[in-house]
Amino acid sequence: MKIIVAPDSYKECLSAPDVAAIIQAEILSLYPDAEVVCCPMSDGGEGFAEIMIRALGGEIRQVPVTGPVGEPALASYGRVGDTAVMEAASACGLQLVPRTRRNPLTATSRGLGELILAAYGHGCTRMLVGVGGTATCDGGAGMMAVPGIRDICGKVSVEVLCDVTNPFLGPAGAARVYGPQKGATPQMMDVLEDRMRSIARTILEETGFDVSAVAGAGAGGGIGGALMAYFGAQYRSGADALMDRVRFEALCCDADVIITGEGRSDSQTLSGKVPFRVLRRSGDVPVILLSGAITHREALLSAGFRALIPVTPASEPLEIALHPAVAERNIRKAVKKVILHRLASGGCQSEYPPSPEDGRRETGTGCCCDFQNK
């Protein structure tokens, strides 16, 4: 039995390599002869640079920068020849800000500009920048305010790596969609949107590039749009870039099952997040979704996931579930109680038990593993 383990991180809890290692260890504890291949994934958010550098080979460098709340932070990037691989989350990520201090009206992307400038100073002229997982919604203004950053525009090649296609402005834009998870209250939303609109006008005046409705320009709180406008950056799926590098299809061609997942899976997963990218590139190999929490089950099953495994018990408070040791315990229980039981007993059936969300039993959806871990 060959199993590919290709999860994203469980944000603010466990890194993708950690999640993959936990799943692998639990499988091997029950099936020592199984071939379990760890292939941790990232969409350009927290952990992206480390995972990509593992695939590319190279070195990690650390740089002191200004953190998202203005305090000193230590960011890092990977270097391979003249190429720098970095993530905005390392310099201005949500994980750098305590929950009680999260405020996208004041959080700055300045640290990313300092990181880019440092990489250029170290001889890097090609930048692969993952822009997921930021605490900011400043349209890249903080990044572009770093002294000297504008001097290197046109001297470096930049690729924006992320798996969201949200525009800079509007109902699906950076402020409206991602502001709340960065700490924005309902009262802040109009203020954030107005500020993003003002920044878009400034960008247009300075570069001639209208970021307002460009797909991906809203990534990273508008950092994606700023990089496109000022650096001429190209936009690409971070997960696809990583899967290309590890030759994902070749890795999976003789696999029996693929296990992927993330901290929370819902309808937004289908907009291009890591599990959906894995599903799209899995060929005919069944894909099991094992995530901290799962909602919008029917949409996920209809997309093609063979089984849906929510890791966290419904009664467990989020602040407890996010503790790494608790998350590890829950993942191990989920693997042990469901995935391997079903694999060993001949795979998924056509019927699954009711979920706590809908309180009903459905048949014919192709999944018997949609359960609530207890």
Q: What average pLDDT does the segment 62-69 reach?
A: 97
Residue 342 binned pLDDT confidence (cut-offs 50, 70, 90):
low
347 pLDDT more than 60: no
Tens digit of pLDDT for each residue in 257-308? Answer: 999 999 999 998 998 889 999 999 999 999 999 999 999 999 999 999 999 9
Can you give the pLDDT at residue 363?
33
pLDDT band, very low/low/confident/very high, at 354 (cuts 50, 70, 90): very low
Which whole number is the average pLDDT over 335-357? 53
Write out the chain in H/E/C secondary structure: CEEEECCCCECCCECHHHHHHHHHHHHHHHCCCCEEEECCCCCCCCCHHHHHHHHHCCEEEEEEEECCCCCEEEEEEEEECCEEEEEHHHHHEHHHCCHHHCCCCCCCCHHHHHHHHHHHHCCCCEEEEECCCECCCCCCHHHHCCCCCHHHCCCCEEEEECCCCCCCCCCCCHHHHHCHHHCCCHHHHHHHHHHHHHHHHHHHHHHCCCCCCCCCCCHHHHHHHHHHHHHCCEEECHHHHHHHHHCHHHHHCCCCEEEECCCEECHHHHHCCHHHHHHHCCCCCCEEEEECEECCHHHHHHHCCCEEEECCCCCCCHHHHCCHHHHHHHHHHHHHHHHHHHHHCCCCCCEECCCCCCCCCEECCCCCCCCCCC
Across residues 338-347, what is the average pLDDT? 59
pTM beyond 0.95: the answer is no
Q: Which domains does the chain have, with CATH numbers?
A: 2-41+247-363 (3.40.50.10350), 48-236 (3.90.1510.10)
Residue 285 has a pLDDT of 95
Interval 5-35: pLDDT, tens: 999 999 888 999 999 999 999 999 988 999 9
